[in-house]
Amino acid sequence: MPHSHLIKPLIGDHYPMIDYGKGVYLYDKEGQEYLDACSGAVTANLGHGMEEIIQSIVDQGSKVAFVYRSQFSNQPAEDLAAFLHEKTGYPWSFFVNSGSEAVETAIKIALQHWQEKGRPAKRRILSRWLSYHGITFGALSASGHPVRRERFDSVIGDWPTVEPPYCSKCPFGKTYPSCNLACADQLEIMIRRIGSENIAAFISEPIIGAAGGAITPPKEYYSRIKEICGRNNILFISDEVMTGCGRTGTFLALEQWGIEADIVAVGKGMSAGYAPIAAALMSDKVMDPIINGTRIIMSGHTYSGNPLSSAAALAVLKLIDSEKIIEGVESKSIYLRNLLDKLKAEFSFVQEVRGKGLLLGLEFDMKGIETGGAFTSAVVAAGVDNGILLYPAAAGIDGRKGSAIIIAPPLNITKRELDEVYKRLRSTFQTLEKNWK
């Protein structure tokens, strides 16, 4: 029998067949309802079935669905670049089709930046443990996600070099704030060992997503990182594929640390799942040597800047803007966090509630045993049984033995729907308490 999914399902022997979605709910062909408390893979930022977004794709399709980027520009792609410039301050956008490609492009542009400046030796990319930057080889090389990397070690680049800012399981055994941010200072130590003359860029996710479950660094962390990168003449790439486009309560999450990176990767929420599109965003500082040099970015895909995807992303971002969705995130975050704290007080295996905006994480610890992926899978499966979708994350200092989930509902979720998230999570945890051995 032909299959579109070659992945073993988490529950049973086949994936439920989805029929349709409306708002924060998805419905399968058997009529089962799922509350999408993780926006799929932290992607469906406006929920499902938004007519005006779908109409924008139809309207663009009736004009032209595809043009090749080396032959033509198109209006939605240009308007999208202008919109992103206005919202983020980055004048340059390079459109791709996935977060992995956005990270690959960010890395390529960093390398090209130094080449065009006559410094080709600056080619190492530093990154952090417990990170996920994508599944393609370049993005995976930078990723500190042991389980996703290990099969491909023979092909991909070096392991990451820098420890994560994982305060509850500090890799240095220290406690914040007396630690004085030893995790950030480790970047400086690594730069000295490797030599800044050999390093192009440092890449990190503002909040650690799939590889950590919304691990959120302290407030001074990124200004220290930025200062270290700047002083050592290294570009700072921020992977905002999961955190970007309003997810944490600001358009880019790094705004909350008061920091601008040199290059930013965005994806997921950029089109909120209505069409595949992602982007690398660059400052003038990064692009000037290229613009004054070869003027060609040595990258691109057949579907880069696709008119349908660009129209969908533009409609999503305009709606987020006109409906003031981002402005509403903080109060919903506080509301949801209170509910999650209530669950932490009730269920002893909930060890920590963390995150920012509507990117919140729960880390688990079952009776002092590091339960690893098996417990995460059990939580997600029990969630499905209780009609709620949860995003599984790796956790633990080795990225294997810990267990965490991400709660990241659509940003336009109502407080009443958040109460429903709490209700279904509570019954999920009651199921686990009874059944987990």
- What is the smallest separation between the CB atom of 99 and ligand PLP, expressed in angstroms? 2
Tokens encoding 275: 């069409």
Contact pick of 201, 241, 379, 425 for ligand PLP (by CB under 6 A):
241
Q: Rank residues 126 and 432 by Cβ distance to ligand PLP and give the closer one.
A: 126
- What is the smallest separation between the CB atom of 109 and ligand PLP, expressed in angstroms? 16
| Phi, psi torsion values for 167, nearest 5 degrees | -60, -40
- 311 dihedral zone (left: phi>0; alpha: psi -120 to 50; beta): alpha
Q: Rank residues 366 and 380 by Cβ distance to ligand PLP and give the closer one.
A: 380
- What is the smallest separation between the CB atom of 215 and ligand PLP, expressed in angstroms? 12
List binders of ligand PLP among 275-334 (CB under 6 A). Answer: none
Our finding on whether 254 is near ligand PLP (CB under 6 A) is no
Tokens encoding 39: 């926006």
Our finding on whether 359 is near ligand PLP (CB under 6 A) is no
Q: What is the Cα–Cα distance from 405 to 347, expressed in whole angstroms?
A: 15
For residue 13, give every residue at least 6 positions away whose Cβ sits within 8 Å of its Cβ, in sequence order, or none.
none
Q: Rank residues 205 and 363 by Cβ distance to ligand PLP and give the closer one.
A: 205
List binders of ligand PLP among 69-128 (CB under 6 A). Answer: 98-100, 103
Residues 387, 391, 397, 399: what is their CA dihedral angle, to the nearest 10 degrees? 110
Q: Rank residues 249 and 267 by Cβ distance to ligand PLP and give the closer one.
A: 267
Are the C-beta atoms of residues 64 and 74 closer than 8 Å to each other? yes
Contact pick of 35, 167, 215, 242 for ligand PLP (by CB under 6 A):
242
Q: Rank residues 88 and 386 by Cβ distance to ligand PLP and give the closer one.
A: 88
Q: Rank residues 267 and 357 by Cβ distance to ligand PLP and give the closer one.
A: 267
Our finding on whether 217 is near ligand PLP (CB under 6 A) is no
Q: What is the Cα–Cα distance from 143 to 359, expressed in whole angstroms?
A: 20
Taken in order 47, 51, 55, 58, is the CA torsion positive or negative? positive
Our finding on whether 132 is near ligand PLP (CB under 6 A) is yes
* Number of residues this chain uses to bind ligand PLP (CB under 6 A): 16
- What is the smallest separation between the CB atom of 29 and ligand PLP, expressed in angstroms? 26
Nearest residue to ligand PLP, using CB?
Answer: 99
Taken in order 279, 162, 223, 292, is the CA torsion positive or negative? negative
Taken in order 141, 132, 25, 76, is the CA torsion positive or negative? negative
- What is the smallest separation between the CB atom of 149 and ligand PLP, expressed in angstroms? 14
Which residue in the block uniquely carries the two structure tokens 């938004």? 50
**One-character DSSP codes across 206-259:** SSB-TTTSSB---TTHHHHHHHHHHHTT-EEEEE-TTTTTTTTSSSSGGGGGT-
Our finding on whether 41 is near ligand PLP (CB under 6 A) is yes
- Angle CA 222–112–67, to nearest 5: 100
Which residue in the block uniquely carries the two structure tokens 């610890």? 365
Q: Rank residues 290 and 404 by Cβ distance to ligand PLP and give the closer one.
A: 404
Contact pick of 104, 163, 188, 205 for ligand PLP (by CB under 6 A):
205
- What is the smallest separation between the CB atom of 389 and ligand PLP, expressed in angstroms? 15
Q: Rank residues 135 and 397 by Cβ distance to ligand PLP and give the closer one.
A: 135
Are the C-beta atoms of residues 390 and 379 closer than 8 Å to each other? yes
Our finding on whether 391 is near ligand PLP (CB under 6 A) is no
- What is the smallest separation between the CB atom of 250 and ligand PLP, expressed in angstroms? 16
- What is the smallest separation between the CB atom of 151 and ligand PLP, expressed in angstroms? 17
Q: What is the Cα–Cα distance from 134 to 30, expressed in whole angstroms?
A: 33
Q: Rank residues 133 and 332 by Cβ distance to ligand PLP and give the closer one.
A: 133
Q: Rank residues 205 and 417 by Cβ distance to ligand PLP and give the closer one.
A: 205
Our finding on whether 405 is near ligand PLP (CB under 6 A) is no
- What is the smallest separation between the CB atom of 329 and ligand PLP, expressed in angstroms? 18
Q: Rank residues 253 and 353 by Cβ distance to ligand PLP and give the closer one.
A: 253
Contact pick of 21, 249, 267, 383 for ligand PLP (by CB under 6 A):
267
Our finding on whether 214 is near ligand PLP (CB under 6 A) is no
Q: What is the Cα–Cα distance from 216 to 166, expressed in whole angstroms?
A: 8
**One-character DSSP codes across 403-431:** EEEEE---TT--HHHHHHHHHHHHHHHHH
What is the three-class DSSP state of 260?
coil
Residues in the site for ligand PLP, rule: CB under 6 A? 41, 98-100, 103, 132-135, 205, 209-210, 239, 241-242, 267
